[in-house]
Amino acid sequence: MVQDIYDNVENATKIKVFVEGTLEVDTKYMLIGKVTEKSNKSGTELVFNAELVYNIDSLDILLYKQTLDLEGAVLQTFDQ
């Protein structure tokens, strides 16, 4: 399962993810890459091509979210 940490799980959808190498089941990773559209028989689908993959099992997700929120507040202050 691939999920943005800010995603609402009720609105989740499927997307194919391509990475080099093998990922371990039950391990959290941060994937950095690009979403592109790929044509197929039934139309088009979104595909995520991961360029960087980081194991983040030891990352405190709540603290990470708080840090991103604080960064946003600081940047907004500088823009004023």
- The SS3 assignment for 45 reads strand
Contact criterion met (CB below 8 Å) for 48 and 31: yes
Q: Which residues pair with 34 in a beta bridge?
A: 49
Tell whether 3 is covered by a domain: no
Tell whether 2 is covered by a domain: no
CA angle 56, 45, 42 (to 5 degrees): 150
Tell whether 35 is covered by a domain: yes
Tell whether 62 is covered by a domain: yes
pLDDT recorded at residue 50: 93
Domain range for 56 is 9-79
Helix (H) or strand (E) holding 36: strand 29-40
Condensed to tens digits (0 to 9), the pLDDT of residues 2-15 reads 666 666 667 777 78
Number of domains in the chain: 1
Condensed to tens digits (0 to 9), the pLDDT of residues 25-36 reads 889 898 999 989
